[in-house]
Structure formats: C-alpha cells, structure tokens
Amino acid sequence: MGLWADPRHGWLSVGGGLGWAYVYDIETGAAVATYQLGKTGVWPRRW
C-alpha cells in the first residue's frame, strides 16, 4: 500500500496490496490511469 501526491501535475497515485495501482486527478477525483504491477511491485515515481 502506498500514496504519492504529485501536486505539479495534480495527480494522486495509490498503490494497492493486490498488484494494482491507480492514478487520480487531485481536483476532480477522476481516474487518470490504472496499472497492473508485476511480481516485483515496482511503481514508477516519475513519468
């Protein structure tokens, strides 16, 4: 589990314990992206 806010882009990244990660728009709450993580659980911190 983890949270990471990117105020410069207005995104909130949320990593779950079941191998999925999500990116949301901070202002609207709308989903921006969904990622299925590999077995290593590597989550890119920058795009």
pLDDT score, position 42: 58
What pLDDT is stored for residue 6 in this prediction?
94
Q: Where are the beta strands (DSSP E) in the chain?
A: 2-6, 11-15, 20-25, 31-36
Residue 24 inside a domain? The answer is yes
Q: What share of the chain is helix, strand, coil (3-state, %, to 5)?
A: 0, 45, 55
Instruction: Look up tokens 């728009």; give the residue.
Output: 25
Q: Is residue 45 part of a domain?
A: no
pLDDT digits (tens, 9 = 90+) for 1-47: 789 999 999 999 998 767 889 999 999 999 999 988 876 555 555 55
Q: How many domains does the chain have?
A: 1
Q: Does 44 fall in a domain?
A: no
Q: State both tokens at 20.
A: 């999925």
| Residue 14 covered by a domain | yes
- Structural domain contains residue 41: no
pLDDT confidence of residue 43: 57
- CA–CA gap between residue 10 and residue 17 (Å, rounded): 23
pTM: 0.71
What is the distance between the terminal CA atoms of the chain, rounded to a whole angstrom? 20
pLDDT for 37 equals 80
Range of the domain at 28: 2-36
